[in-house]
Amino acid sequence: MQHGDRLYRDYIDAHGPLVFMLSWILGPIAGASHLWVFRFVSTLMASLAGLAIFYTSLFTFNWQRYLATAMWLGSIASVWTVQGLNLDSYWPIGGALTVISLATFVMPMCLNQPVSMPQAFCGGFATALLPFAAYAFGPLAVFFYAIPCLIWLFRRATYRGTIKEITLGCFCACLVMTLWLALYGDIGGMIAFHIIANQKWYAHYIPFGVDAFLHGMALSFTPDRIIETLAVIACGLGSFLLVWKSTFKLSALLAICGLMTLQIRGMDGFQNGAFLMAAFALASLMATACLKNFPNILALLAFGSVGGVFLFSQHALSSPWGQTLAQRRAAG
């Protein structure tokens, strides 16, 4: 691409354009002589998601923000290489965008908390970027955008400005990606190779659908399923607390349904990275929101949960390569 080739025209790839756009931005800054440099993309996205959790309107005091952010960052750091979250691909990028949307407007609106205009814009921007990371994230984006629309129907005066900023953020994200594709890619090629070809041919060769979803939601503490099981437990806990505490129950259910679409390729492989990041974020945010008046209990829960994930990850197989902890250390 740096030599003038255009994505989806001069070469074909089945992945979404956002991965290439972010790598394309990083290339001139960091150079392309060492491929490991491009893993900074996932690091940057995780950092932005952490900032979104820290500045969410769900919390009042800084100690709440620090504990919630530490709980999430500590959880994903414990499985950073085990689940391939450090790789430059669509699942860590999509996971980070999902967390940004959850923290900026989805969960605050479900809990009837105020959402500032910058948060609404950033949340809308992140939501609209999800389908450009992978078209499989499209249903999630639709569910997330439906949440403020549904709440706005009942609270028009309260959320009129919020829905406008979310919509503006979505429009700006689509505009940026469309302009980038027009200059450096091929829109028709993206539709043909990333969407149509994937759905028509590739989907038949991968675990995809109801069976894969049910398999991904099954609980098992075998080495190849430990991390997946922890994510399912975290999602279940966070979902229960979200529905319990939510002012708008139907909107909370929409958010949960959206997160479940991340498990459409639910498997004991690294493709569940986006679901894992979102599940840990949901649990961290809701646990902090429910225990925001009990700092000692919350601190104990935060350190205990991160420590538990770390201990479990020591016995987990690395999904991308099927390596044990000893093999990962031997490989550097």
Per-residue model confidence as pLDDT tens digits over 155-195: 877 888 999 999 999 999 999 999 999 999 989 888 888 88
Q: What confidence score (pLDDT) does residue 267 get?
A: 58
Q: Do the Cβ atoms of 80 and 260 come closer than 8 Å?
A: no
Q: Do the Cβ atoms of 135 and 195 come closer than 8 Å?
A: yes
Residue 65 CB neighbour total at 10 angstroms: 17
**C-alpha to C-alpha distance for 144 and 260, rounded to whole angstroms:** 12
Q: Which residues fall within 8 angstroms of residue 190, CB to CB, at 6 or more apart? A: 7, 8, 17, 181
Q: Do the Cβ atoms of 144 and 258 come closer than 8 Å?
A: yes
Average pLDDT of span 112-125? 95
Q: For the ranges 7-21, 155-169, 231-245, 257-271, which has the lowest average pLDDT?
A: 257-271
Partnered with residue 185 across adjacent β-strands are 7
Per-residue model confidence as pLDDT tens digits over 246-264: 999 999 999 999 999 888 7
Q: What confidence score (pLDDT) does residue 2 get?
A: 75
pLDDT of 265 strictly over 70: no
Q: What confidence score (pLDDT) does residue 205 get?
A: 72
Per-residue model confidence as pLDDT tens digits over 36-59: 888 899 999 999 999 999 999 999
Q: What interhelical angle do 62-78 and 273-290 show, nearest 10?
A: 150
Among residues 151, 94, 149, which one has the least CA distance to residue 126? 94
Q: Do the Cβ atoms of 96 and 88 come closer than 8 Å?
A: no
Q: Which residues fall within 8 angstroms of residue 169, CB to CB, at 6 or more apart? A: 120, 121, 122, 123, 124, 125, 126, 127, 128
Q: What confidence score (pLDDT) does residue 314 get?
A: 86
Q: What confidence score (pLDDT) does residue 5 get?
A: 87
Average pLDDT of span 232-249? 94
**C-alpha to C-alpha distance for 260 and 239, rounded to whole angstroms:** 11
**C-alpha to C-alpha distance for 307 and 75, rounded to whole angstroms:** 8
**C-alpha to C-alpha distance for 255 and 79, rounded to whole angstroms:** 24
HEC readout, 133-180: HCHHHHHHHHHHHHHHHHHHHHCHHHHHHHHHHHHHHHHHHHHHHHHH
pLDDT of 332 strictly over 70: no
Per-residue model confidence as pLDDT tens digits over 50-89: 999 999 999 999 999 999 999 999 999 999 988 889 888 8
DSSP 3-state assignment of 306? helix
